[in-house]
Amino acid sequence: MKQLRIIPDKCTSCLQCELACSFVQTGTFQPSRSLIRVYVFDEQASYAPYTCFQCSEAWCMTACPVNAIAIDPATGAKVVMDNVCVGCAVCTIACPYGTVFYNPDTHKAVKCDLCGGDPACVKACPTDAIEYVEMEQPDWLASWAQRVDERFHTMQEGGHQ
């Protein structure tokens, strides 16, 4: 299944990905409505785009009380079904990566849907810092994601972190 691969070392923080995403998702150029965000590490003068991992556990999907998040069979993306979402925002809380957002205009959850298999962020990135490639699971931030996952399972088993 194709996934987004982000290569932070190539990012120049031009924010073209945020602009493209917001335009495709909302029809306007509003980075605050983008579903991909560029994090700035001031101390290191470096940047890292981040967005939904489309993780296999899909805590957002599991937490949704009305089953408003489903897997798109064509892309494998976990997508919010607007006609089902009640805007409770439980999915935004459940996502350990902070990549599910709440749209105050529609009162619905929003998250990366991979633009139906043609991600605008990939096409807009002038440095190829974002790729849409075949891989089993996202490898960017993988070590951090693994630590979060391990903590979650430890807490589920009654342990403390």
* Residue listed under structure tokens 């998702």: 25
CA 97 to chain centre: 8
pLDDT for 158 equals 80
Q: How far is CA 73 from CA 1, 2, 67, 93, in A?
A: 10, 12, 16, 25
Which of residues 90 and 42 earns the better pLDDT score?
90
For the segment 10-29, the average pLDDT, to the nearest whole number, is 95
pLDDT for 47 equals 86
For residue 129, give the nearest of 44, 13, 2 by alpha carbon.
Answer: 13
Strands 130-134 and 2-6: antiparallel
What confidence tier does 1 reach under pLDDT thresholds 50, 70, 90?
confident
Tell me how far apart the alpha carbons of residues 82 and 13 are, in angstroms, rounded to a whole number: 31
Structure tokens at 77: 């993306």
For residue 132, give the nearest of 144, 120, 145 by alpha carbon.
Answer: 120
Give the mean pLDDT of the chain.
Answer: 90
Q: How many residues does the chain have?
A: 161
- What is the three-class DSSP state of 118? coil
For the segment 98-116, the average pLDDT, to the nearest whole number, is 96
pLDDT for 143 equals 62
With a pLDDT cut of 70, the percent of the chain lying above it is 91
Whether the per-residue pLDDT at 155 is higher than 90: the answer is no
For the segment 128-157, the average pLDDT, to the nearest whole number, is 77
pLDDT for 112 equals 97
Q: Are 115 and 20 in contact (CB under 8 A)?
A: no
pLDDT for 153 equals 82
Whether the per-residue pLDDT at 14 is higher than 90: the answer is yes
10-19, 95-104, 136-145 — which is least confidently predicted?
136-145
Could you tell me which residues come within 8 angstroms of residue 98 by beta carbon, excluding any fewer than 6 positions away? none
Neighbours of 2 (CB within 10 A): 16
Helices (H), 44-84: 59-63
- Residue-wise pLDDT for 44-97, tens only, equals 778 889 999 898 889 999 999 999 999 999 999 999 999 999 999 999 999 998
Could you tell me which residues come within 8 angstroms of residue 10 by beta carbon, excluding any fewer than 6 positions away? 127, 128, 129
